[in-house]
Structure 1
Amino acid sequence: MQHPNTASPSGNAASADNRHQTGSDGTGVDAGHNQDHHRGKAARDEWLFVPDIPIGNNPLFEWPLNARRILTYYRDYWLTVSEVSIFFVLAVAGWFALRGVLEGAAVLSAGWVLAVWALNLAVVLVFAGGFHLFFYQLRAQGTDLKYVPQFGHRGGSRFTFGSQVRDNMFWSLASGVSVWTGYLVFLLWAHAQGWTPAITVTAQPVTFIVVALFTGPWIAFHFYWGHRLLHVGPLYRHVHSLHHRNVNIGPWSGISMHPIEHVIYFSSMLIHLVVPSHPVLIMFHGYMLSLSAIFGHTGFHEMMIGNRARVAVGHFHHQLHHRYFECNYGSVDFPLDVWFGTFHDGTPEARRRLKSRLGPRWQR
């Protein structure tokens, strides 16, 4: 599972979960930078590509507070071409596209509900389908900036329809888009009914900005606890194991989950029942959950265009979770993994600590 916000820029000036400096030769990785990215023999042996390590976390939760680092962290989120800025622009565009049909949102009707569902479906098809086509079908980037050499799993009875891609597409579209749409429809309907504390951009601009800025940390907080719950006995065996079929992940793995997991995962959106909100913020929250998971499961650190790394996509923080299973349950946006001893920062030292913690359960 990816969560939304494992797409965050690292708070560590020497490390970035979603940052990569393009090499002077235009390939995206120069010799010196490549050495920095492959620290220690264990890291080189284990991964095809390793980003800057150790992975950092949101400096907002570090003491003493460092205003410069905090501002840099949020600047990289919002004022560059990043997941967050892309999703926010999509939310604004989506709101304008649906505004006409949502004028009647106070009354549940098939017309506007289907319009919301169709938009969500289209967005997932464009991003998950587009990334799959670019990275896995055309292999337009080869293995450049790819964490592991494998391109998914080939067949296997563990997957629905005997295919990882068909399995992932089915659960993403049939369950994921439907559950996400259900939450979004409910919240837009409640907003239209006047049951939520509504704001406007012009009347409450500061509140609007604050809610937008804290959407990522809230998602990370909620995701950690929901994810820990899903790793408990019966819930893992009967629910979360569906997602963990994907060790070698791809874009369609992002929201490929059991319906119960989708209900838990997207439930962080219910915060908009109690915090001052706006339809754009509700839609933004949904994109942060759905599309960030798709970005984060691409298996590539960045998308290269014209032989240069242009757009950060992969989440090495979450890639580590799919590899080791019992670490990195949350994301870098809220450091609960650090506080509860489940953080893997990508270094060989962190791997040794995890191996020691797991003892006989260690399998890698």
Structure 2
Amino acid sequence: MTDIFDDPESDRWNHHPGKVQLSPVFAWPPRPLACLKWLSGAWLVLSTTTLAFALAVLAYVTLLPPLSEMASLDPGWVLRLWLANLVPHCVLAGTLHWWLHMRRGQERRTKYDAREQARDNGTFTFRSQVRDNMFWTIASGITLWTVMQALVFWAMANGLAPKVFFPSNPVWFALWFVLIPIWSSLHFYWVHRLLHWPPLYRIAHALH
């Protein structure tokens, strides 16, 4: 793999982040204190992990029906699940777009590509980079992950997938809070390596 600092493409970057460090969880030899610090950075401060967890709990408590009602793939609760994914995503993405691109609150600091988002450009759906991003995020991204979530909930409700609740299994319930950030990092890395395999890249990742 080409080092990013030897890649001529990096010459046109506006922001160069420096060398990206791997998670200490995957380092060898083991570094227990570094791993503990990494995990605490995921759960004990305001982070994408804690924000996602808070939103998931809020959606589960306020929007989703009891698990027993998910035993059938009823369009009603699947739509509620889709909305539970759609609304916070649009609020967060919309706020970031307003701050970074409309308000220019950060100017060009840490912005990789100094160019503004494209308009009247046939490369993008609707000839607009913003509308392209919005359409494919909602029509493809949010919709597909809602389908996957719905299938998982359906499988759990029908006893086809395991369920872990604190009263019945407190050890595994607590352990998942350690395993989820590790699995997330591992999954993100290897899925992206796989998506850059040419046959998959063309059909599943080139648009992104």
The TM tier, using the shorter chain, reads 0.7 to 0.9
Number of the residue aligned with 2:30: 65
CA deviations on 1:115-169 (whole Å, 9 max, x unpaired) are 1111111122112222112211222222234334223233321111111111111
Number of the residue aligned with 2:3: none
2:58 to 63, 69, 93: 93
Number of the residue aligned with 1:172: 137
CA deviations on 1:219-262 (whole Å, 9 max, x unpaired) are 3333444333332334333442211xxxxxxxxxxxxxxxxxxx
Secondary structure of 1:194's partner? coil
Contact 1:102/1:112, CA 8 A, preserved across alignment: no
Identity, % of aligned pairs? Answer: 38
Number of the residue aligned with 1:136: 101
Q: Tell me how far apart the structure 1 counterparts of residues 173 and 15 of structure 2 sit (CA, whole Å).
A: 38
Contact 2:81/2:150, CA 8 A, preserved across alignment: yes
1:126 to 91, 96, 99: 91
Q: Tell me how far apart the structure 2 counterparts of residues 168 and 45 of structure 1 sit (CA, whole Å).
A: 25
- What letter is aligned with 1:133? W
Number of the residue aligned with 1:207: 172
CA change 1:210–1:180 in 2 (3 A) is same
Q: How many pairs does the alignment contain?
A: 200
Contact 1:153/1:164, CA 8 A, preserved across alignment: yes
Contact 2:15/2:113, CA 8 A, preserved across alignment: yes
Contact 2:164/2:173, CA 8 A, preserved across alignment: yes
CA change 1:67–1:234 in 2 (3 A) is closer
- In the TM superposition, 1:243-322 aligns within 5 A as 243=208
Contact 1:101/1:112, CA 8 A, preserved across alignment: no
1:162 to 127, 150, 159: 127
Structure 1 unmatched runs, 5+ = 1-41, 244-364
Q: Tell me how far apart the structure 2 counterparts of residues 197 and 101 of structure 1 sit (CA, whole Å).
A: 16
- What letter is aligned with 2:31? N
- Structure 1 residue 199: Cα displacement: 1.5
- What letter is aligned with 1:68? L
Q: Tell me how far apart the structure 2 counterparts of residues 145 and 225 of structure 1 sit (CA, whole Å).
A: 25
**Normalising by structure 2, what TM-score?**
0.84
Q: Which protein, 1 or 2, shows the higher relative CO under an 8 Å CA cutoff with sep ≥ 6?
A: 1
1:149 to 114, 121, 130: 114
**Normalising by structure 1, what TM-score?**
0.50
- Structure 1 residue 96: Cα displacement: 0.8
- What letter is aligned with 1:230? L
Number of the residue aligned with 2:201: 236
- What letter is aligned with 2:143? S
- Structure 1 residue 177: Cα displacement: 1.2
- In the TM superposition, 1:22-37 aligns within 5 A as none
Q: Tell me how far apart the structure 1 counterparts of residues 202 and 28 of structure 2 sit (CA, whole Å).
A: 39
Q: In the alignment, is residue 74 of structure 1 matched against residue 74 of structure 2? A: no
Number of the residue aligned with 1:113: 78
CA change 1:224–1:74 in 2 (3 A) is closer
- Structure 1 residue 97: Cα displacement: 1.3
Secondary structure of 1:144's partner? coil
Instruction: Give 4+ residue runs of structure 1 displaced > 6 Å after superposition.
Output: none
Compute the RMSD of aligned alpha carbons: 2.4
Structure 2 unmatched runs, 5+ = 1-7
Q: Tell me how far apart the structure 1 counterparts of residues 190 and 22 of structure 2 sit (CA, whole Å).
A: 17
Secondary structure of 1:120's partner? helix
Q: Tell me how far apart the structure 2 counterparts of residues 110 and 70 of structure 1 sit (CA, whole Å).
A: 42
